Amino acid sequence: MSNSIVKAVALGAMGASLMASTALAQDDPVTATMIIYLDPSVQFFNPVVRGAEDAAEHFGVDLDVQYANNDPVRQNDLIEAATAAGVDGIAVAISSSDAFDDSICAAVEQGIIVIGFNNDDLEGADGNCRQAYVGMDERASGYELGMRMIEEFGLEEGDVVFNPREIPEASFAVARGGGIEDAMSEHGITVETVRAGLDPAEAQNIMTQFLIANPDVKAVFGTGSVTSTVGAAAIRDAEIDVPFGGFDLAVEIANAVESGAMFATMDQQPYLQGYYPIAQIAMAVRYGMTPTDVDTGQGAFLDQSRISDIIDLVGTYR
C-alpha cells in the first residue's frame, strides 16, 4: 500500500474518530445568556444576534438573548439572574467600566464563562473579571478615524471639530471619543462634544442646532450608530458643507458613505461579536479551551471605495 493511501486511511480514521467524539460532546447540554445593553430597536445589534444564534445552532447551545434597555440596574439583574440559573456562559456588553464588576466577578467565581463583547472595560482584563473580550479596539479605531480625517481634509492647528456622543459616560463613547481627541490634540485641534442621546430624531436635532450655532466647525465625527446614522442629515439641515466620519453600519450609514455624504465609517463586524462569544463558551465547556480576545475591528475603515463590497449585507452579516 502506498504512503499516500496509508496517509489517507489514517486521516479518514482520525476524522471519523473526531466526528464521533464531537457528536458525543454535542450531546452535552450547554446553556448561555447573551445580554445586550440597549434595546431591540437598535438595528446595529441585529447582526450580533444573528451571529450568536448561528453559533448556538452550530455548537448546540441553548441561547437566551436579553436586552438591558440602557439600564445598568436591569443589566446587573440580568447577569445575576443568569448566574442564579447556573448557565454555563454569559456573553455581556460591558458598557460601563464600573457598574458590572461585582456581578460579573460573582458569575466567574461560580464557574461561569463570562465573555465581554461589543464594549469592554476601559482597563480591559485588569478592570473586570471577564475571561475574554470580542470586539474592536475602540480607542485605536477612534484615533485611526481622526488621523485619516486630518490627512484627507487638511484639518490643522486652531480648527474646531464636533464629536457628539450618544451616552458620553458609556465605555464605547469614552474610548472612541478619546481616540478622536488623541488624534486632534496631536495637531492642536479642539474637540467639542454634546450628549446626543439614543433617539435618532432627537440626536439629529441636537446636532443640527449645534452646527447652526457653531458655523466654524471644520468636521463632524459620529461616535456610535445613532450619531453616525443621522450625522449626514444634521449637516444637511444645518446647511453647511463639512466632512463627516463615524462608526458602525446601518442602512443609512452605508448609503451616506456610498453617496459621498459621509467620508467613512469604522466597522466593527458585529456578526463576529455575536458568533465568537457563544462559540467560545461552547468550546470552553465541552473541551476545556481557554477563551481568548478577538479584535473584530481589523480592517475596520470603510470609505466609498470599499462600501460597495458589503452594502448588501448590512443588517444581516454586517
Beta strands, E only, the chain? 30-36, 61-67, 89-92, 113-117, 132-135, 160-162, 190-192, 219-221, 244-247, 264-266, 294-295, 301-303
In a domain, 280, yes or no: yes
Phi, psi dihedrals of residue 163, rounded to the nearest 5°: -130, 80
Q: Is there a contact between 294 and 26 (Cβ–Cβ < 8 Å)?
A: no
- Please check whether residues 284 and 254 belong to one and the same domain: no
Q: Is there a contact between 278 and 55 (Cβ–Cβ < 8 Å)?
A: yes
- Please check whether residues 24 and 171 belong to one and the same domain: no
Residue 210 in grid coordinates: 449645534
Alpha-carbon span 161 to 221, nearest angstrom: 8
The CA–CA distances, whole Å, from 119 to 116, 176, 212 equal: 7, 11, 32
In a domain, 317, yes or no: no
> Which residue, among 80, 135, 134, has the nearest Cα to 112 in the 3D structure?
80
In a domain, 158, yes or no: yes
- Please check whether residues 7 and 99 belong to one and the same domain: yes
- Please check whether residues 152 and 207 belong to one and the same domain: yes
Q: Quote the pLDDT of residue 10.
A: 38
- Please check whether residues 78 and 9 belong to one and the same domain: yes
Number of domains in the chain: 2
Q: Quote the pLDDT of residue 26.
A: 54
- Please check whether residues 120 and 143 belong to one and the same domain: no
Domain that holds residue 66: 3-136+269-298
**CATH number for 218:** 3.40.50.2300
- Please check whether residues 211 and 273 belong to one and the same domain: no
- Please check whether residues 158 and 253 belong to one and the same domain: yes
In a domain, 16, yes or no: yes
- Please check whether residues 32 and 157 belong to one and the same domain: no
In a domain, 74, yes or no: yes
In a domain, 162, yes or no: yes
Q: Is there a contact between 211 and 235 (Cβ–Cβ < 8 Å)?
A: yes
Q: Is there a contact between 51 and 273 (Cβ–Cβ < 8 Å)?
A: yes
Q: Is there a contact between 184 and 168 (Cβ–Cβ < 8 Å)?
A: no
Q: Quote the pLDDT of residue 283.
A: 97
The single-letter code of the amino acid at 114 is V
Q: Quote the pLDDT of residue 14.
A: 38
What one-character-per-residue DSSP string does 121-179 give? Answer: -TTGGGT---SEEEE--HHHHHHHHHHHHHHHHT--TT-EEE--BSSTTSHHHHHHHHH
pLDDT of the chain along its 318 residues, tens only?
Answer: 443 333 333 334 434 434 434 443 556 789 999 999 999 998 899 999 999 999 999 999 999 999 999 999 999 999 999 999 999 999 999 999 999 999 999 999 999 999 999 999 999 999 999 999 999 999 999 999 999 999 999 999 999 999 999 999 999 999 999 999 999 999 999 999 999 999 999 999 999 999 999 999 999 999 999 999 999 999 999 999 999 999 999 999 999 999 999 999 999 999 999 999 999 999 999 999 999 999 999 889 999 999 999 999 998 999
Q: Quote the pLDDT of residue 299.
A: 84
- Please check whether residues 274 and 132 belong to one and the same domain: yes
Alpha-carbon span 122 to 174, nearest angstrom: 8
Q: Quote the pLDDT of residue 7.
A: 35
Cβ neighbours, 10 Å, residue 39:
13
> How many secondary structure helices (H) and strands (E) does the chain include?
11, 12
- Please check whether residues 180 and 201 belong to one and the same domain: yes
Q: Look at residues 224, 243, 266 and tell me which one is the last residue of a structural domain.
A: 266
- Please check whether residues 185 and 198 belong to one and the same domain: yes
